[in-house]
Amino acid sequence: MEQLETAQQTKLSPFRQSRGWQQFRRNRLATLGLVIVLILWGATLLAEYVATHDPYEMDLANPFLPIGSQGHLLGTDNFGRDVFSRIIWGGRASLTVGIVVVGISASIGLILGVISGYYGGWIDLVIMRITDLFFAFPFFILAIGVIAALGPGLQNVMLVLGLVTWPEYARMVRAKTLALREEPFVESARAAGAKDLRIMFYHILPNCLGPVIVMATLGMANAILAAAGLSFLGMGVQPPEPEWGSMLNEARIYMRTAPHLIIIPGMIIMLAVLGLNFLGDGLRDALDPKMPTARQ
């Protein structure tokens, strides 16, 4: 992946690079998104230092403390556990889900997409029929169906979401490859004796990277949302492990006495997803000047 990125940078002219950066900076929402993402993920990565309490430590004498209580910034839950610390630690699950899911789906999608578009013929036909099949399912329904068979848990959730979302990448990369295949620089690479694999992974894929980055950012937002939904339904992270969706689920029965236990985790999920969506939207405007949604 790193190799691809450097390849991309060397290929782009400085002019376009700077233009993209300019446009991105001009888009204030995208900058805000980046700031939100950095703060949330920074706090999560440094959870050892940011969290004020052990997220598992119960204090049965002090349950349901409200926001702003002494020593508990965001209060405590039904077991007297510190909500702030559980939120910070809970971010690890969401962060992992986002990265792993996008990693799985983008790798499968990129490889199948470039093969499909480059070789064409029956290979293309088979791969595209498989993606059609995946698109025929409502995404969340297929996900819970597979979870039902595999059993709940964070690992299965990541696997399932990754395996269910790759066709989007495959379709996009295939379309790009079809266009790039006929470009002079690919022709010249072939004439210079480059092998198919080298052409696909060194010449074609780096040029698909812009839209892939946008798709991955928005895909990460969707993965976090879907994983939180699955945990909320009891199919993802299992208690007592802290995770935003399952915290909401646990708090449901105490909605009347302690509404803050509902409000806080939901707001954090929304912030994390919103940050990525702002960022993805801005990146799309910056990396793809032809998109009709471009705003100044």
Partner 1 sequence: MGRYIVRRLLAMIPLLLGISFIVFALLNILPGDPVSIMLSSNPHITPDANTIAQLQAQYGLDKPLFTQYLIFLGNLFKGDMGTSMYTQQPVLTAIWERMPATAELAIAALIISVVIAIPVGVISAVRQYSWIDHLCLIGTLIGVSMPSFWLGLLLMLGFSLKLRWLPLSGMGYFSNGVGDVLRHLIMPAFTLGFGMAALLARLTRSSMLEVLGQDFVRTARAKGLSERAVIYRHALRNGLIPIFTVLGVQFGYLLGGSVIVETIFSWPGIGRLAVNSIMNRDLPMVQGTVLVFTLLFILVNLGVDILYAAIDPRIQYD
Where along the sequence are the contacts to partner 1 (CB under 8 A)?
29, 129, 132-133, 136-142, 144-151, 221, 225, 228-229, 232-235, 245, 248, 252, 255-256, 259, 262-263, 265-267, 269-270, 273-274, 277-278, 281, 292-293, 295-296
Shortest distance (Å) from residue 229 CB to partner 1: 6
The tally of CA atoms less than 13 A away on the side-chain side of residue 9 is 7
Query: How far is Cα 42 from Cα 26, in angstroms, rounded to an integer?
Result: 24
Query: How far is Cα 132 from Cα 27, in angstroms, rounded to an integer?
Result: 35
Please, which residue, 127 or 225, has the CB nearer to partner 1?
A: 225
Shortest distance (Å) from residue 284 CB to partner 1: 12
Shortest distance (Å) from residue 51 CB to partner 1: 23
- H-assigned helices in the chain: 2-11, 14-26, 28-45, 47-50, 83-119, 121-136, 139-150, 154-180, 184-191, 196-198, 205-232, 244-251, 260-287
Shortest distance (Å) from residue 259 CB to partner 1: 5
Please, which residue, 35 or 197, has the CB nearer to partner 1?
A: 35
Query: How far is Cα 183 from Cα 176, in angstroms, rounded to an integer?
Result: 11
Backbone angles phi, psi at 69, to 5 degrees: -75, 160
Shortest distance (Å) from residue 226 CB to partner 1: 9
Could you tell me the sign of the dihedral formed by the alpha carbons of 167, 206, 224, 32, in that order? negative
Shortest distance (Å) from residue 58 CB to partner 1: 24
Please, which residue, 175 or 263, has the CB nearer to partner 1?
A: 263
Q: How far is it between the farthest Cα atoms of the chain? A: 76
Please, which residue, 170 or 199, has the CB nearer to partner 1?
A: 170
Shortest distance (Å) from residue 98 CB to partner 1: 13
Query: How far is Cα 285 from Cα 210, in angstroms, rounded to an integer?
Result: 11
Please, which residue, 90 or 245, has the CB nearer to partner 1?
A: 245
Question: Tokens 């409200």 sit at which residue?
Answer: 66
Please, which residue, 46 or 291, has the CB nearer to partner 1?
A: 291
Cis peptide before 240 (omega within 30 of 0): yes
Please, which residue, 103 or 266, has the CB nearer to partner 1?
A: 266
